[in-house]
A and B are shown apart, each in its own frame.
Chain A
Amino acid sequence: MKRRVNIWAWIIFLIGIIYFFLPLFSTFEFSMRMIKGRYTFEAYREAFTDPEFFVNFGYSLMWSILTIIISLLLVVPTAYWVHWRMRRARALVEFITLMPFVVPAVVLVFGMSRLFGGGLKLFGHSILVLTPTPIPLIAGYVVLSFPYMYRAVDTGLRAIDVRTLTEAALSLGAGWRTIITQVIFPNLRVAILSGVFLTFAIVMGEFTFASLLSWPAFGPYMEEIGSMRAYTPQALAVVSFLLTWGSIGLINWVGRGAPGQQQVAGAH
């Protein structure tokens, strides 16, 4: 097929680039307008001198690290097990990991707070009253991370022959720990890191769960500042954008040359 330069292709590309960059440029420009008549970084100074910023940012960091750990512990062994022993459960597991698309965050948090707020009645006792703890929050984030984490790890496992590798290792006398740490894990490093960075990007800016379950986090903090101040919110938006950009950039960087890595959109 002859490749000829198409003027329409350029026009559409330019429109796309403008759509991408105009809001980013506007946000940056807006964030510098705090002092009338000249551009300064005053809004950033204000944002970074607010102790609340660090508190909420710290909480979000904690939530994202906990989410990543639990998500990895659940998804990696499950995906491995599906590939090694439970091929017949593949459709079921894939279906479950896609559930966050069927049950939107706001619906899930609604169901959770109703269910775990009152607890389950069992023999006249309330068990599983979880709302005073951050368990529903973390669990919600883990559920949100399933599609990305599972997809990434599954893609990684597809690229290697799990069955042959595991059986070869077993017949050479390797124990399970050796198999996981020396055989499977090194082959999944890129896949796992993609899932980790994407989960990080999603949880760091997440608003719905944290806000509706009333936990401090960067997302609700941004929203609060947005209703109080004029220029600082845009400074925070720039910070948030850099976080997302950094995470996706790292995914592309660790995944250089790895085919089939594909990410889908996060929580809106």
Chain B
Amino acid sequence: MSLIKSPPTVSSKTSEKPVAVPSTRESPWDWLGLLPFLLFAFLFLFAPSASIFVNSFQDLSGHFTLSNLAAILTERDFLNAYKASLSISFITAAGGAIFGFLLAYAVVMGGLPNSLRTFLLTFSGVASNFAGVPLAFAFIATMGNAGLVTGWIETILGVDIHAQGFTIYNIWGLSIVYMYFQFPLMVLIMAPALDGLRREWKEACENLGGTSMQYWRYVAFPILMPSLLGTTILLFGNAFGAYATAYAFSGSFINLVTIVIGAQLQGDVLFNPGLGNALALGMIVIMTLCMLGYLYMQRISARWVR
């Protein structure tokens, strides 16, 4: 991609009029070129979000109210939904970040054959995009009541885990499912970051008498920390907004915020449109905080890792 593959060919027709080269000076008319894109974004991205914002502050008859937001912040069902969504996002972001980092470290610096690295990165690309309904089916086949692993444990250990009160249809089970698309994303982002650690830094540290431990403690980790934290935030948001996987996996056993919003959309289960809007607004606020955190971390890490 770095080289021009086919040289620019110019029509040899002499009838074509030479076009005056427009000046590259900035002109307000240049904004017109972005108009279709901006219009589309306004109509299908900002307007729906803005309508959620406005409707959150309206009661059933359209008057201004704060009661919807108050309900979200006080009623137990809503608080539990947020708690479930936040805990599953936290668990899978932390778990995905740690395991994904170790895996990226293993293939980049662990001395594994190069082919395994390519293979792992390709597979991470697939796995991070393999989500939703089929992912839920895959894990039902793995550790559901008739799942393969469930069967193995029963044959080998003689324990029927599901009869022992174990269930995969709770937060921990869903976390195992989410991890399938969480840690590959970490691998995809951390592998290039680890590649960005320059050999000179390690050598400089060794020449100054630093041990490997000190290199990681004082050089590598501080450099990697922003992208590590930034990606963890990304994973957090990734899990927080997920709907399809949770819906197909557990139906409405686990009341995540997304599940409640979906149910409200399908049948006004809250009997108050304002409440649904307020729930959605809460998600936007949390996701915005995530995004700001991510962008801030990226700005810091851009100083070192190029």
User: Using a CB–CB distance below 8 Å, which chain A residues touch chain B?
Assistant: 1, 3-6, 8-10, 12-13, 15-16, 19-20, 22-27, 29-31, 74-75, 77-78, 81-82, 85-86, 88-89, 93, 96, 98-99, 101-115, 136, 139-140, 142-143, 155-156, 159-160, 163, 165, 167-175, 178, 182-183, 186-187, 190-191, 198, 201-202, 205-208, 211-212, 219, 222-223, 226, 233-234, 236-237, 240-241, 244-245, 247-249, 251-252, 257-260, 262-268
How big is the B interface, by class? 35 or more
Q: Are B134 and A266 in contact (CB under 8 A)?
A: no
**A-contact bits for B1-30, CB 8 A (1 contact / 0 none):** 110111011110000111101101010001
Select from chain B the residue with minimum beta-carbon distance to A246.
B126
Q: Are B280 and A110 in contact (CB under 8 A)?
A: yes
Q: Which 5 A-B pairs have the closest CB atoms?
A: A9-B110, A104-B241, A111-B48, A30-B141, A207-B244
Say how far B306's CB is from chain A's closest CB, in angstroms. 12
Say how far B91's CB is from chain A's closest CB, in angstroms. 15
17 additional A-B residue pairs with CB within 8 Å, beyond A103-B49, A240-B133: A13-B107, A16-B106, A24-B138, A26-B149, A96-B37, A110-B264, A110-B277, A114-B277, A136-B44, A139-B40, A143-B41, A165-B4, A182-B8, A187-B4, A201-B129, A223-B248, A258-B1
Contacts of B105 in A (CB 8 A): 9, 12
Query: Given A102-B288, A112-B44, A107–B241 Cβ distance below 8 Å?
Result: yes
Q: Are B284 and A22 in contact (CB under 8 A)?
A: no
**A-contact bits for B215-255, CB 8 A (1 contact / 0 none):** 00000000000000000001001111111110110000000
Main secondary structure of the interface of B (DSSP, over half): helix
Q: Are A223 and B133 in contact (CB under 8 A)?
A: yes
Interface centre among B203, B243, B276 (most CB of A within 10 A): B243
Contacts of B244 in A (CB 8 A): 206-208, 211, 219, 267-268
Q: Are A27 and B49 in contact (CB under 8 A)?
A: no
Contacts of B276 in A (CB 8 A): 110
**Among B4, B180, B183, which residue has its beta carbon within 8 angstroms of that of A23?**
B180
Contacts of A156 in B (CB 8 A): 1
Say how far A195's CB is from chain B's closest CB, in angstroms. 13
Q: Are B10 and A1 in contact (CB under 8 A)?
A: no
Q: Are A102 and B137 in contact (CB under 8 A)?
A: no
Contacts of B1 in A (CB 8 A): 155-156, 159, 187, 190-191, 257-260
Contacts of A77 in B (CB 8 A): 33, 36-37
User: Using a CB–CB distance below 8 Å, which chain B residues touch chain A?
Assistant: 1-2, 4-6, 8-11, 16-19, 21-22, 24, 26, 30-31, 33-34, 36-38, 40-41, 43-45, 47-49, 51-52, 55, 99, 102-103, 105-107, 109-112, 116, 120, 122-123, 125-142, 146-149, 178-181, 183-185, 188-189, 192, 199, 202-203, 234, 237-245, 247-248, 258, 261-262, 264-266, 273, 276-277, 280, 283-284, 287-288, 290-291
Contacts of B30 in A (CB 8 A): 81, 85-86
CA gap between A175 and B16 in the complex, in Å: 8
Q: Are A26 and B142 in contact (CB under 8 A)?
A: yes
Q: Are A101 and B291 in contact (CB under 8 A)?
A: yes
CA gap between A15 and B179 in the complex, in Å: 13
Contacts of A262 in B (CB 8 A): 188-189, 192
Query: Given A108-B48, A207-B248, A78–B37 Cβ distance below 8 Å?
Result: yes
**Among B19, B38, B127, B189, which residue has its beta carbon within 8 angstroms of that of A20?**
B127
Contacts of A198 in B (CB 8 A): 129
Contacts of B283 in A (CB 8 A): 104, 107
CA gap between A264 and B182 in the complex, in Å: 11
CA gap between A5 and B109 in the complex, in Å: 9
Contacts of B45 in A (CB 8 A): 96, 99, 103, 108, 143
Q: Are A27 and B4 in contact (CB under 8 A)?
A: no
